[in-house]
Amino acid sequence: MTKISVLGYAGRLGSEIAIQGADPLICDITKIDELNEAIYRAKPDIIINCAALTDVDNIESKEGYYKALEVNCWGIEKLLQAFDGRIIHISTDYVFDGKRGPYGETYARYSPINWYGYTKTGGEALFLTGATKGSTLIRTTGLYGNRIGLPDFVSTIMERLGKGEEVLVTNELRHNQSYIPHIAEAILKLCELSNPPKVLNLGSREILSRYSFALLVATVFRYDINLVKPCINLSVPGWKAPRPAKAGLKVDLAEKYHLPIYNIIDGLNDLKERMR
């Protein structure tokens, strides 16, 4: 049986991959000795790398950027040094500027517009040049619905709507809002393929603006949709980093490989079911 280990097992996506069956790989991706030791003990056939620093606004500071570079970029080099087997590395549509999305796998003009995107671009470049045959770079986008209680876009707006508070949601960003259990399911199915693609997009089937998605969330969970107000990026409290506007990912290739791809509403309905 294929032994699958997941790095970043305590994060939003990594925890779900562990819940769905992968073994946590407990080590710091920036420390080669820890990686060597953990891999030696676990003896995985496949490593799924979800380890990352993902706080986009914090990474706009010099300190945040240098820390993120260590994990998101140089961490990939260390992982490649420590493990010459099959790796599935998770990345993002934030490696693009959001002028021409949704992006297909063959679009190859890196154009990040924030420092998080730069660190992820560096990680991708190292991965694509150094990874063993059979490894896959997965780009995903707009993750929500983790089962370990970490805040995400949906949980945050539901908390506010539940208290009867207004939420300002940008209508300047478009992407596929993607339900974490569905993405984890597709990643684990990819592990079963004997001839996987080198680059693969995973996300929900449709692209929506964040504002439209927030209206959908309010509708599905029966909150007052009048509390959801459209705004521009500059009005979103706490946002320092620019975000790619017309981003998102085409997911046709995943469908060609018969990987499970769902509609946005399927994710929200599943989340509702789980919360009952």
Ligand X SMILES: NC(=O)c1ccc[n+]([C@@H]2O[C@H](COP(=O)([O-])OP(=O)(O)OC[C@H]3O[C@@H](n4cnc5c(N)ncnc54)[C@H](OP(=O)(O)O)[C@@H]3O)[C@@H](O)[C@H]2O)c1
CB nearer to ligand X: pick between 59 and 167 = 59
CB atoms closer than 10 angstroms to residue 65: 18
Cβ of residue 64: shortest distance to ligand X, in angstroms?
12
Q: At what angle do helices 210-220 and 153-162 cross, to 10 degrees?
A: 50
Task: Give the x/- contact pattern for ligand X in 17-56, rule: CB under 6 A.
Answer: -----------xxx-------------------xxxxx--
User: What length does the chain have?
Assistant: 276
CB nearer to ligand X: pick between 26 and 227 = 26
- H-type helices in 205-251, by residue range? 210-220
Q: What residues from 57 to 86 belong to the interface with ligand X (CB under 6 A)?
A: 71
CB nearer to ligand X: pick between 116 and 223 = 116
Q: At what angle do helices 75-82 and 115-130 cross, to 10 degrees?
A: 20
d(CA 248, CA 26): 31
Number of chain residues interacting with ligand X (CB under 6 A):
24
CB nearer to ligand X: pick between 156 and 166 = 156
CB nearer to ligand X: pick between 224 and 240 = 240
Task: Give the x/- contact pattern for ligand X in 143-162, rule: CB under 6 A.
Answer: x------x------------
Q: Which residue's entry shows tokens 């960003």?
A: 173
Residue 49 in contact with residue 8, Cβ under 8 Å?
yes
Cβ of residue 1: shortest distance to ligand X, in angstroms?
25
Out of 4, 5, 11, 208, which residue is the one contacting ligand X (CB under 6 A)?
11
Tell me whether residue 58 is exposed, middle or buried, using C-beta atoms within 10 angstroms of its C-beta: 0 to 12, 13 to 18, 19 or more. Answer: middle
- Tell me the torsion sign for CA atoms 203, 250, 265, 56: positive
Interface stretch with ligand X, choices 12-20, 219-227, 230-238, 257-265 (CB under 6 A): 12-20
Q: Which residues bind ligand X (CB under 6 A)?
A: 7-8, 10-14, 28-30, 50-54, 71, 90, 92, 120, 140-143, 150
